[in-house]
Amino acid sequence: MSLRSDCLVIGAGIAGMTAALYLKRSNVNVILIEKSAPGGQINMTSKIENYPGFDSIDGPTLAMNIFNQIKSLGVEYRYGNVIDIVDTGKSKIVKTDMDEIECQVVIIATGRIPKELGLENEKQLTGRGVSWCAVCDGFFYKDKKVAIIGGGNCALEEALFLADIAKKVYLIHRRDQFRAELCLQDKINEKKNIEIIFNSNIIELKEKDNKLSEIILETKGKKESLPVDGLFIHVGFKPNLSFIKNLNIKTEDEYIIVDQNMETNIKNIFACGDVIKKDVYQLTTAVGEGAIAATNAKKRIDNTLNKI
């Protein structure tokens, strides 16, 4: 099936939904496309305490609040996995696994996906003890022993969430100090069932009956075994951009480079949120970038119409 729209927003995370909201309120014919649940990575966040207007809110609730807002405005929302973008010069053809959409302007807001450790049987044990989302899978580890690897905000937030479910939580970090906010570190130190292991890496995953049974750590050159029922991985992210391989979009460290208008080096292709190269990756910056991308996309669409 072939569709047409003034603007197509790829990705329904907080940046993409903000862009769609601004476009629809400006009377732009916009389609928002997403291959999974609206909200993206914030659906994996148990508690958000640095978003203005909320002392505390969980990620799925914030995502659904924004999604309901754009749906009430009449934004067309479609499920689909974008596999390619073709620039014809006059328009953009966005190909998904279900249909093709022709539009004047594209806004890429596909965010990031968690990195893997790269261990031999990591993929095999996914869903069998290995996870990237405590909100999704924490329930399965009630009164059990789990480990989390990472040192940023996400890792510590997951540890705090799991500490209220699991009997024991090992928080493993390859360096000698965390990168996370001090307020999170203080909360970690208050939890009696969280044990911190610094200067350590996971080098092997052991399994029993096709489930994770223990992890092998290397700490200051020494190996040790740590029996656990679950492992939650938070060692960083990478941009989700497999569909731009046929475009000459400029990137740095795999992230899209944009100007102050959130436009890429290809005319009428904008990008915003965690998929772009920037210094601060936060919900608040994603919202601002979504608004900037939408505002400039609207100007571009209006200029095109005025020339017809």
Q: No. of H helices and E strands in the chain?
A: 6, 19
Q: Of 233, 255, 271, at which residue does a domain stop?
A: 233
160-169 residue pLDDT tens: 999 999 999 9
Domain that holds residue 219: 130-233
Verify that 45 and 109 share a domain, yes or no.
Answer: yes
Does the pLDDT at position 112 exceed 80?
Answer: yes
Q: d(Cα 308, Cα 303) in Å, to the nearest integer?
A: 9
Q: Please indicate, yes or no, if residue 122 is contained in any of the structural domains.
A: no
Find residue 148's DSSP bridge partners: 171, 232
Q: Give the pLDDT confidence score for residue 1 in this predicted structure.
A: 57
Same-domain pairing of 7 and 105: yes
DSSP letter (8 states) at residue 153: H
Q: Domain for residue 120, yes or no?
A: no
Share of the chain above pLDDT 70, in %: 98
Written as one letter, the residue type at 109 is A
Asked whether residue 65 falls in the same domain as residue 154, the answer is: no
For residue 119, is it within any domain?
no
Q: Are residues 19 and 155 in the same domain?
A: no
CATH number, domain containing residue 32: 3.50.50.60
Tally of CB atoms within 10 A around 102: 16
242 shares a domain with 229? no
The pLDDT value given to residue 307: 54
Task: State which of 233, 260, 282 marks the end of a domain.
Answer: 233
What is the total count of domains within the chain? 2
Higher pLDDT, 48 or 147: 147
Q: Residue 213: inside a domain, yes or no?
A: yes
Query: Distance (Å, rounded) from C-alpha 164 to C-alpha 142?
Result: 9
User: Taking residues 137-155, what's their average pLDDT?
Assistant: 95
Which residue numbers are catalytic? 133, 136-137
pLDDT at residue 278 in the model = 96
